[in-house]
Amino acid sequence: MTEQQRLDRRERNREHAKRSRVRKKFLLESLQKSVTALQEENEKLRGAIRANLGPEEAKELLTQTETSSLISSSPGEATKVLDDPDYSLVKALQTAQQNFVITDPTLPDNPIVFASQGFLELTGYTLDQVLGRNCRFLQGPDTDPKAVEKIRKAIEKGMDTSVCLRNYRVDGAMFWNQFFIAALRDSEGTVINYVGVQCKVDDDFVRAVQKREEGEGDDDEEEEEEGDEDRSDAEEKDAAVG
């Protein structure tokens, strides 16, 4: 590899990292809004309990529902020591009660090491049925291989990506999943986990996504044709000079 190629690759990696930070920023902001709404609703419920129960009974009931941390010990162990922005992302996902899993690429086959309650409810699986397994068990006969390949390449390169694909519940029922996967890094920039966020979407959403992807595919073809034309022109000029 030449020095210029190394510089080009370094620049591409910086650009990928920049885009990844932007995507995570928007996702985190959206989750924080959900968290705020949940906290407000929770406070209203606590107020209703205090208003309708006696002080001692209300205190006892509320004490039973309190948790010591927004992040339980399991996600904390699953994500080891994350860089602060990535830790905040995981914390917001859990607090907003999102459907997500955390995987460990340092283990064989990148298995699930944490699954949220929302993920279990969405898929119908129990925790012991998913821990230690690769997420491919959600795939089925009509899952698009191209979408699966896009996910595989993103993991291979340590990049974030999003795809819309068919997944299957434990009972065999199919659902459309807008799937987002992000690499989680430690303070040194090393990928130590991946977080996969699942969002069940309807047919109208899927059609809109497919239409947008078709348009992007046409743009890519046009750029490739223009590139071929440029190369052809350059070759003709070289031939004329020679």
Q: Model confidence over 42-84: pLDDT tens digits?
A: 777 777 777 887 788 877 777 766 643 333 334 444 444 444 5
Q: How many helices (H) and strands (E) does the chain have?
A: 8, 5
Query: How crowded is residue 30: how many other Cβ atoms within 10 Å of its Cβ?
Result: 12
CA distance 89 to 30: 11
CA distance 166 to 139: 7
Whether the predicted pLDDT of 209 surpasses 90: no
Least confident range from 132-141, 207-216, 226-235: namely: 226-235
Task: For Cα atoms 175, 181, 186, give the angle at the middle one, nearest 5 degrees.
Answer: 155
Residues 174-196, buried b or exposed e (16+ Cβ, 10 A)? Answer: eebbbbbbbbbbbeeeebbbbbb
CA distance 9 to 97: 38
Q: Please indicate, yes or no, whether the overall pTM of this predicted structure exceeds 0.95.
A: no
State the burial class of residue 92 (Cβ atoms within 10 Å of its Cβ: 0-12, 13-18, 19+). Answer: buried
pLDDT band at 234 (very low <50, low <70, confident <90, very high): very low
Give residue 188's pLDDT.
77
Is the separation of the CB atoms in 104 and 111 below 8 Å? yes
Give residue 82's pLDDT.
44
Residues 6+ apart with CB under 8 A from 83: 184, 185, 186, 187, 189
Give residue 216's pLDDT.
63
- For 92-119, what is the mean pLDDT? 82
Tokens of 110: 């990148």
Axis crossing angle, helix 55-65 with helix 3-52, rounded to the nearest 10: 160
